[in-house]
Amino acid sequence: MISKVMADGTAEYKFIADLKARCENNDKDVTAIVADILKNVKENGDKAVEEYTLKFDGSKVEQPEITNEQLKEYASKSDSKVYESLEKAAVNIRDFHQRQLQQSWLTTKSNGVILGQRVRGLKRVGIYVPGGTAAYPSSVLMNAIPAKIAGVEEIIMVTPPGKDGKPNPDIMAAALVAGVDRVFLMGGAQAVAALAYGTQTVPKVDKIVGPGNIFVATAKKLLFGTVDIDMIAGPSEILIVADKTARADYLAADLMSQAEHDVLASAILLTDSDELANEVNIELKKQSANLKRKDIIEKSLKNYGAIIVCRNINEAVEFANILAPEHLEVCCENPMEYVGKLDNAGSVFLGNYSPEPLGDYFAGPNHVLPTSGTARFFSPLSVDSFIKKSSFIYYTKNALLDAADDIIRIANAEGLTAHANSIIVRKENEVKD
């Protein structure tokens, strides 16, 4: 089901190269289609969105925006136990992200200079939430709660309607729990365009976050600059570092938890135990037989999964840092000893009882994570993702005069004489006075 690679300094790196190639194909047809959709929505607003909703979702929505009363009504159709679990998860998510909140600050110097930074939330943020079979209420919590904590004034959520023109009840429940301000029934690239450009009914936002299919991802990519976005997400990934003390059944279950997302998803196990590698392969076959998304799992593991047998765990850690995975599990005897050694990962899960789904749904850290090796330089979605900062400067007359010659000298060195002149006119004026 999944290939086994014996690390020898060559084979494992060939696997990495093959893995990265899966994300390098640029579908020009999709880009062209999405570009046309964006142009149409920009020019025709609600009319274009309505036409695309009928075309792609097979649904005609008479009133795109859901009222607060309707939101509560739809949310009440969610299973009460699911609603209760969402509320519990929200408590953990709020607690974790509240600790990320930054404060504005100000400092003064003895010469009367005042310097500082003002931190505040964005004015309006759009959240895209898939609907139908790919409905993820957990993503509503992970995107909306940090935005609320950051002080975003208004959160606009878009989600596609079902064939009956109604939304997914679990998504509505999550929106209610997270405190989303307004909800619109629209999906696809057209919904992303509506958020970016604004329409007669949908307000223009400053940033768009949330997962979606290739059309949604492409729309976000093309609109970056018109609005800010969270990140360009690639296929889901999990990498597990495990020694001989790990349980094969746990490891197999965790590998499949990501493989079921997409046939392009990547699930990799790094271990120093050949015996464990063989046991995991047996467990994969055994457990996958009873899973709903068996076909997707098998294709994902066959094409983009691997068990790499390393010469020791230190080599596995080094390899993990090179791969820079979205999710990284450490199933070793003393997992905490590796925390300071694992520099490149979206989120790290330590020990046999911290599986990846714990982070997806409940623990509190954000599950919107960098993929495709971008954990080398990108961070998870956080409160910081929804704030903006401005610095401010106040100099007294004497403080400016003290710095004048240095500023003029640097400006002239750069050939920017108008910059220098801005200081010179003040200096000459004050000398005359």
Q: How confident is the model at residue 206 (pLDDT cuts 50, 70, 90)?
A: very high
- Of 283, 326, 329, 356, catalytic: 326
Q: What whole-number distance in Å separates Cα of residue 62 and Cα of residue 412?
A: 63
What would the DSSP string read from start to end of 44-56? Answer: HTHHHHHHHHHHH
Q: How confident is the model at residue 431 (pLDDT cuts 50, 70, 90)?
A: low
Q: Is the sign of the CA dihedral 271, 273, 278, 279 positive or negative?
A: negative
Q: How confident is the model at residue 425 (pLDDT cuts 50, 70, 90)?
A: very high
Q: What is the pTM of this model?
A: 0.92
- What the block records as the tokens of 417 is 């004489």
Compute the mean pLDDT over every residue in the chain, rounded to the nearest whole number: 94
Q: What is the residue whose two structure tokens read 């925006």?
A: 65
CA 88 to chain centre: 22
- Of 327, 329, 356, 367, catalytic: 327
CATH 3.30.470.20 fits 28-229, yes or no: no
Q: What whole-number distance in Å separates Cα of residue 383 and Cα of residue 362?
A: 17
CB 38, CB 193: distance < 8 Å = yes
Q: What whole-number distance in Å separates Cα of residue 373 and Cα of residue 73?
A: 42
CB 188, CB 1: distance < 8 Å = no
Which segment of 19-28, 44-53, 159-168 scores lowest on mean pLDDT?
Answer: 19-28
Is 367 part of the annotated catalytic residue set? no
Q: Is 192 left (phi over 0), alpha (psi -120 to 50) or beta?
A: alpha
28 by Cβ neighbours in 10 Å (0-12 / 13-18 / 19+) ranks as exposed
Q: Is the pLDDT of residue 201 over 70?
A: yes
**Residue 16: per-residue pLDDT:** 81
Q: How many CB atoms lie within 10 A of CB 385?
A: 23
Query: For the chain, what percent of residues have pLDDT higher than 70?
Result: 98
pLDDT in tens, 59-95: 888 889 999 999 999 999 999 999 999 999 999 999 9
**Residue 24: per-residue pLDDT:** 61
Q: What whole-number distance in Å separates Cα of residue 178 and Cα of residue 94?
A: 9
What would the DSSP string read from start to end of 257-299? Answer: HHHTT-TT-EEEEEES-HHHHHHHHHHHHHHHTT-TTHHHHHH
pLDDT in tens, 245-294: 999 999 999 999 999 998 999 999 999 999 999 999 999 999 999 999 99
Q: What share of the chain is helix, strand, coil (3-state, %, to 5)?
A: 50, 15, 35
Mean pLDDT, range 394-418, rounded to an integer: 97
Q: Please report, for the chain, the start and end positions of each structural domain, with discontinuous segments joined by +.
A: 3-23+234-363, 28-229, 397-432
pLDDT in tens, 343-400: 999 999 999 999 999 999 999 999 999 999 999 999 999 999 999 999 999 999 999 9
Q: Is the pLDDT of residue 433 over 60?
A: no
**Residue 346: per-residue pLDDT:** 96
CB 270, CB 358: distance < 8 Å = no
Mean pLDDT, range 28-41, rounded to an integer: 94
Mean pLDDT, range 214-224, rounded to an integer: 95
Q: How confident is the model at residue 332 (pLDDT cuts 50, 70, 90)?
A: very high
Fold of 3-23+234-363: Rossmann fold (3.40.50)
Q: What whole-number distance in Å separates Cα of residue 142 and Cα of residue 136?
A: 10
- What the block records as the tokens of 221 is 């990519």
Q: What whole-number distance in Å separates Cα of residue 173 and Cα of residue 95?
A: 20
Q: What whole-number distance in Å separates Cα of residue 19 and Cα of residue 351?
A: 26
- Cα distance between the two ends of the chain: 85
CB 215, CB 34: distance < 8 Å = yes
Mean pLDDT, range 240-244, rounded to an integer: 97
Is 326 part of the annotated catalytic residue set? yes
pLDDT in tens, 124-179: 999 999 986 678 999 999 999 999 999 999 999 999 998 888 999 999 999 999 99
Instruction: Tell me if 3-23+234-363 shares its fold with 28-229.
Output: yes
**Residue 21: per-residue pLDDT:** 73
CB 230, CB 368: distance < 8 Å = yes
Amino acid at 51: E
Q: What angle (nearest 5°) sits at the alpha carbon of residue 302, between those of residues 297 and 305?
A: 85
CB 220, CB 196: distance < 8 Å = no
Which strands, in side-by-side order, build the sheet including 266-271?
Answer: 3-6, 306-309, 266-271, 237-242, 327-331, 347-350
